[in-house]
Amino acid sequence: MSFTVVQIVVEGETERDFVKKILGPHFRPLGMIFQFDLLHGVTRWGWEKVRNEIAGCIYDNPNSYCTTMLDLYGLPENSPGKHGEKYDDPRKWAEHIERAMSRSLLEMNERIELFVETGHFIPYLQVHEFEALLFSDPLAISPNVDGRSKDEELIQIRESYPTPEHINNHPSTAPSHRLRKLFGSAYQKPLCGSLIAEDIGLEKMRRECRHFNGWITLLEEIAEMEKAKRQD
């Protein structure tokens, strides 16, 4: 069986493990598999270096697709579209930056331009960071960290916002900082993040997180389209 290859530029090990354990089993039956490029955090990188990493994936396999799973919260300050127009809805802000990322890639050269214009680059920013997905079900968090119930505090955080993707990006109140404040060093991001996500399940995260669901839906549409091409 042949597969549609999607190269995914991810923030770090947590996002890589999430894609492997949660997205991989969902997409493989659809004929889509993922290859990884880990950035190990992007805040200190600057947009030019992030852009070059994305371009490198495109050069490595121009017949593939390329997407990203980068935190909106930690995106380099000089990223295109990050400053300027203001949005009340963080999902709209993320979409604005994603479009700006594509435009920035278009400026590189004709090879990259063709890749982007044919829909092979799918920029995705996690609003505001990976841990927002975990607030899709606050009751799944404590049992997968240290067993100490923090359900009341976690539910209160979740109910303070319209969706998990609205939990904000201030250094003291971003989702990951809230978890570390509640659990301290017991919250080990790569291990706990994957365990919690597995308990919650992809479908619940999709229901709770509209921007995330839009990304998954687009990848599903690409998988089905490429699968149909192979069957012709």
Q: Average the pLDDT over 179-201 and give the result.
A: 95
Q: How confident is the model at residue 169 (pLDDT cuts 50, 70, 90)?
A: low
The pLDDT score that the predictor gives to residue 24 is 98
Task: Say which residues have a Cβ less than 8 Å from residue 8's Cβ, sequence separation at least 6.
Answer: 19, 34, 35, 36, 37, 66, 67, 68, 69
> Tell me, what's the pLDDT at 85?
79
Per-residue pLDDT band for 36 (boundaries 50, 70, 90) equals: very high
DSSP 156-209: HHHHTSSSGGGS---TTTSHHHHHHHHHGGG--HHHHHHHHHHHH-HHHHHHH-
Domains (ranges, CATH) in the chain?
4-127+209-231 (3.40.50), 131-200 (no CATH)
The overall average pLDDT reported for the chain is 94
Local structure of residue 79 (DSSP, 8 states): S
Tell me: pLDDT of 173 over 80.
Answer: yes
Asked if 215 contacts 123 with a C-beta cutoff of 8 angstroms, the reply is no
At residue 147, the pLDDT reads 81
Q: Residue 149: what pLDDT?
A: 87
- For residue 128, whether the previous peptide bond is cis, meaning omega lies within 30 degrees of 0, is yes
47-95 tens-digit pLDDT? 999 999 999 999 999 999 999 999 998 899 999 999 877 788 999 999 9
Taking only the tens place, the pLDDT of each residue in 114-151 is 999 999 999 999 999 999 999 999 999 999 999 888 99
pLDDT of 84 reads 77
